[in-house]
């Protein structure tokens, strides 16, 4: 990684002056974000992070003075061409030609691994991770919360894979429970085998809605209970109908997820753990953790003082297991540990379930499972106001079709649109980029108001702008031939706009590192938007066409590097870069 060699070089000089091992200094040296207003240095060292006595109360002028003193003791060399002191920092500017040469060589050599090979990750152990995300309920709406879970979970899994971890992606379906009683009876009444085969999700939803209206009738309620009881007793006929519902639904889910660019290694579900949830209740009982209330419900005391100030209900008074033991399922967590022996397990759901997961992890800990510490709930906020032209979102496919048709319309009316080979496919990929960027721009935990117009704008900080930049850089390469650029004269890349792009490329590993630490995609999003803006400026001021061959070659190499990093970052976010638009 280009940045690594520079950081190491700066650290080794600092280590002699400060008498500290260079390893301790590397993390304190960070790339400086590019500024629109002025030229900035490439790296800075924060004085507070290396001075022993700077216990939080160091005054700003002390730090400034220390920075000044340290800067005076350091010398420029073949790598560093300028050293200056800032407010509490020492700034280092890398020799301009070396910067260009090192960054471009590294980006083009590492390709899709640029940034992830950085030594920033050298202390991060390779792990086995399980990520559970999406998790819709069969026969119910695939609401916007499921869409958010799908794209966030996909991002986390992509990032982990890119960093060399072994990831299992699990979709934990709502495929059991009383709703299947209603559905079974409903299908016998209103069902249609052809419709079930051709569009299972829609047909089961319609049957379920019709049955819910009929369910006020006591007789219907009894029939539904009866059907579900048969299901629990594994009656062959009932089970075979349920299996059909589940299998056909999964087939259709797979097809729709494919449009989103998402796949799963395992389709699990509540149905897998009915028997096991009874075992879990027995384990709780054996460990003396299960208490009965006067009403007969089973609870687990989670309070520190054991005064029931905090508890979790795990069993209804009629003895059936409740949401926590079945749905997210202690049994599922325990089973996965036995099966995958993972190092970390991440659940991706909206923040209304935070309490629920806290309880889940606490109970696992009380049961003596130390690995509960390695479970993590990544929660996200709510999206308001997402509607399609047909009204409220019911199926994921509605969203995909809507985004595609709106994008097709925009492309048809835009002046810059070129003829593309497959406009439907391009519109879908660009539209998805728009949805994903709008979703990932802020902190995942914040709620936001959805707007089609804002998401699909071609200017400004949108997914459309990222795709447009990528397509434009791609066609530049096509036009001028993308030769393997080995002998570029980097002296031709000294203009401020070229340096800004190079400086920004230098920072990529730090941005990946931040996202890997807090699992927030926003760091990568803002990095890619800035990269696109900087590249757009350079594209205007540094033309390839009509420049001297040597200059054209160097600029082409710069744009190729920018496109490569842009594509890598987009793919991590779950976006497929388009080459025409």
- CA–CA distance, 418 with 421 (Å, rounded to integer): 10
146-160, 287-301, 341-355, 383-397: the lowest-pLDDT one: 383-397
Element (H, E) at 475: helix 463-480
**Helix, strand or coil, per DSSP, at residue 311:** strand
Is the CB of residue 77 less than 8 Å from the CB of residue 90? no
Q: What is the pTM of this model?
A: 0.93
**What is the predicted pLDDT for the residue at 421?**
81
Is the CB of residue 178 less than 8 Å from the CB of residue 274? no
Is the CB of residue 287 less than 8 Å from the CB of residue 301? no
Quickly state the pLDDT bin for 327 (edges 50, 70, 90): very low
**What is the predicted pLDDT for the residue at 319?**
61
Is the CB of residue 157 less than 8 Å from the CB of residue 169? yes
Ranges of beta strands (E only) in 105-223 are 128-132, 166-173
The alpha carbon of residue 417 and the mean position of all alpha carbons in its chain are separated, in whole angstroms, by: 30
Residue 49 DSSP label:
G
**What is the predicted pLDDT for the residue at 60?**
72
**What is the predicted pLDDT for the residue at 27?**
86
Quickly state the pLDDT bin for 29 (edges 50, 70, 90): very high
- CA–CA distance, 32 with 267 (Å, rounded to integer): 44
CATH number of 403-573: 1.10.730.10
Q: CA separation (Å) from 478 to 72, 475, 525?
A: 49, 5, 26
Burial class of residue 36 in the structure, from the number of CB atoms within 10 Å of its CB (0-12 exposed, 13-18 middle, 19+ buried): exposed
Domain residue spans in the chain? 2-94, 129-272+324-384, 403-573
β-pairing, 344-350 vs 128-132, is parallel
**What is the predicted pLDDT for the residue at 328?**
45
Ranges of beta strands (E only) in 164-212 are 166-173
**What is the predicted pLDDT for the residue at 413?**
85
Share of the chain above pLDDT 90, in %: 69
Quickly state the pLDDT bin for 56 (edges 50, 70, 90): low
Quickly state the pLDDT bin for 16 (edges 50, 70, 90): very high
- Name every residue whose Cβ is closer than 8 Å to that of residue 539 and which is 6 or more positions away in sequence: 472, 473, 476, 559
Among all residues, which ones are annotated catalytic? 140, 143, 146
Residue 37 DSSP label:
S
**What is the predicted pLDDT for the residue at 54?**
46
Fold of 129-272+324-384: Rossmann fold (3.40.50)
Q: CA separation (Å) from 380 to 124, 144, 348, 431?
A: 25, 12, 8, 22
* Average model confidence (pLDDT) across the chain: 90
pLDDT of residue 39 exceeding 80: yes
- CA–CA distance, 354 with 324 (Å, rounded to integer): 12
**What is the predicted pLDDT for the residue at 324?**
52
Per residue in 536-558, pLDDT (tens digit) is: 999 999 999 999 999 999 999 99
pLDDT of residue 389 exceeding 80: no
Burial class of residue 397 in the structure, from the number of CB atoms within 10 Å of its CB (0-12 exposed, 13-18 middle, 19+ buried): middle
- CA–CA distance, 250 with 254 (Å, rounded to integer): 6
- Considering the four listed CATH numbers 1.20.58.2050, 2.60.120.310, 3.10.290.10, 3.30.1360.70, the one that applies to the domain covering 2-94 is 3.30.1360.70
Average pLDDT for residues 232-240, to the nearest whole number? 93
**What is the predicted pLDDT for the residue at 553?**
92
Per residue in 501-545, pLDDT (tens digit) is: 999 999 999 999 999 999 999 999 999 999 999 999 999 999 999
Quickly state the pLDDT bin for 388 (edges 50, 70, 90): confident
User: Comparing 427 with 48, which gets the higher pLDDT?
Assistant: 427
β-pairing, 43-46 vs 29-31, is antiparallel
**What is the predicted pLDDT for the residue at 321?**
58
Is the CB of residue 499 less than 8 Å from the CB of residue 471? no
pLDDT of residue 289 exceeding 80: yes
Strand partners, 128: 166
End-to-end CA distance of the chain: 32
Share of the chain above pLDDT 70, in %: 95
187-191, 293-297, 489-493, 543-547: the lowest-pLDDT one: 293-297
- Name every residue whose Cβ is closer than 8 Å to that of residue 553 and which is 6 or more positions away in sequence: 485, 488, 489, 492
β-pairing, 387-388 vs 391-392, is antiparallel
Residue 120 DSSP label:
G
pLDDT of residue 272 exceeding 60: yes
90-94, 298-302, 364-368: the lowest-pLDDT one: 298-302
Per residue in 74-113, pLDDT (tens digit) is: 999 999 999 999 989 999 999 999 999 999 999 999 999 9
**What is the predicted pLDDT for the residue at 320?**
59
């Amino acid at each position: 990684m280009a940045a690594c060699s520079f950081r190491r070089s700066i650290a080794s000089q600092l280590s002699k002056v400060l008498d500290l091992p260079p390893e301790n200094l590397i993390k304190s040296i960070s790339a400086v974000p590019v500024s629109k207003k002025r030229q900035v240095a490439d790296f800075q060292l924060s004085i507070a992070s290396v001075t022993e006595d700077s216990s939080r109360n160091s005054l700003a002028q002390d730090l400034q003075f220390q920075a000044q003193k340290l800067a005076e003791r350091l010398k420029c060399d073949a790598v560093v061409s300028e050293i200056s002191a800032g407010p509490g920092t020492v700034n280092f500017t890398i020799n301009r030609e070396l910067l260009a040469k090192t960054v471009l060589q590294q980006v083009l050599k590492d390709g899709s691994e640029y940034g992830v090979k950085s030594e920033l990750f050298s202390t991060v152990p390779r792990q086995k991770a399980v990520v559970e995300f999406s998790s819709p309920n069969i026969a119910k709406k695939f609401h916007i919360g499921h869409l958010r879970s799908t794209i966030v979970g996909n991002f986390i899994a992509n990032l982990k894979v890119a960093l060399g971890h072994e990831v299992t992606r699990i979709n934990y379906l709502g495929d059991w429970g009383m709703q299947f009683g209603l559905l079974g009876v409903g299908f016998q009444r209103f069902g249609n085998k052809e419709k079930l085969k051709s569009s299972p999700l829609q047909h089961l939803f319609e049957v379920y809605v019709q049955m819910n209206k009929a369910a006020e009738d006591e007789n219907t309620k009894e029939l539904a209970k009866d059907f579900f009881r048969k299901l629990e007793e594994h009656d062959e006929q009932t089970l075979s109908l349920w299996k059909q519902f589940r299998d056909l639904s999964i087939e259709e889910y797979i097809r729709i997820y494919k449009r989103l660019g998402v796949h799963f290694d395992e389709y699990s579900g509540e149905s897998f753990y009915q028997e096991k949830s009874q075992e879990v209740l027995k384990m709780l009982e054996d460990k003396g953790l299960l208490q009965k209330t006067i009403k007969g419900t089973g609870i687990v005391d989670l309070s520190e003082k054991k005064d029931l100030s905090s508890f979790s209900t795990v069993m209804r008074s009629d003895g059936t297991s409740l949401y926590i033991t079945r749905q997210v399922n202690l049994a599922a967590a325990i089973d996965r540990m036995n099966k995958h022996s993972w190092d970390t397990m991440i659940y991706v759901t909206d923040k209304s379930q935070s309490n629920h997961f806290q309880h889940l992890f606490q109970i696992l800990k009380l049961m003596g499972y130390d690995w509960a510490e390695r479970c993590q709930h990544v929660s996200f906020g709510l999206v308001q106001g997402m509607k399609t032209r047909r009204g409220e979102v019911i199926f994921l496919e509605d969203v995909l079709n809507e985004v595609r048709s709106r994008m097709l319309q925009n492309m048809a009316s835009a002046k810059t649109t070129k003829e593309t080979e497959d406009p439907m496919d391009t519109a879908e990929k660009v539209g998805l980029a728009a949805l994903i960027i709008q979703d990932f721009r802020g902190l995942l935990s914040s709620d936001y108001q959805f707007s089609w117009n804002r998401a699909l704008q071609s200017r400004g900080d949108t997914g459309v702008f990222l795709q447009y930049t990528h397509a434009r850089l791609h066609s530049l390469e096509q036009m001028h031939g993308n030769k393997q650029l080995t002998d570029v004269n980097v002296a031709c890349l000294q203009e401020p706009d070229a340096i800004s792009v190079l400086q920004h490329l230098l920072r990529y590993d730090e941005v990946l590192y931040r996202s890997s630490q807090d699992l927030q995609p926003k760091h990568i999003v803002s990095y890619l938007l800035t990269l696109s803006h900087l590249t757009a400026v350079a594209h205007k001021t540094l033309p390839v066409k009509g420049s001297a061959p040597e200059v054209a070659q160097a600029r082409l190499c710069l744009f190729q590097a920018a496109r490569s990093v842009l594509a890598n970052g987009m793919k991590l976010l779950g976006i497929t870069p388009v080459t025409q638009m």
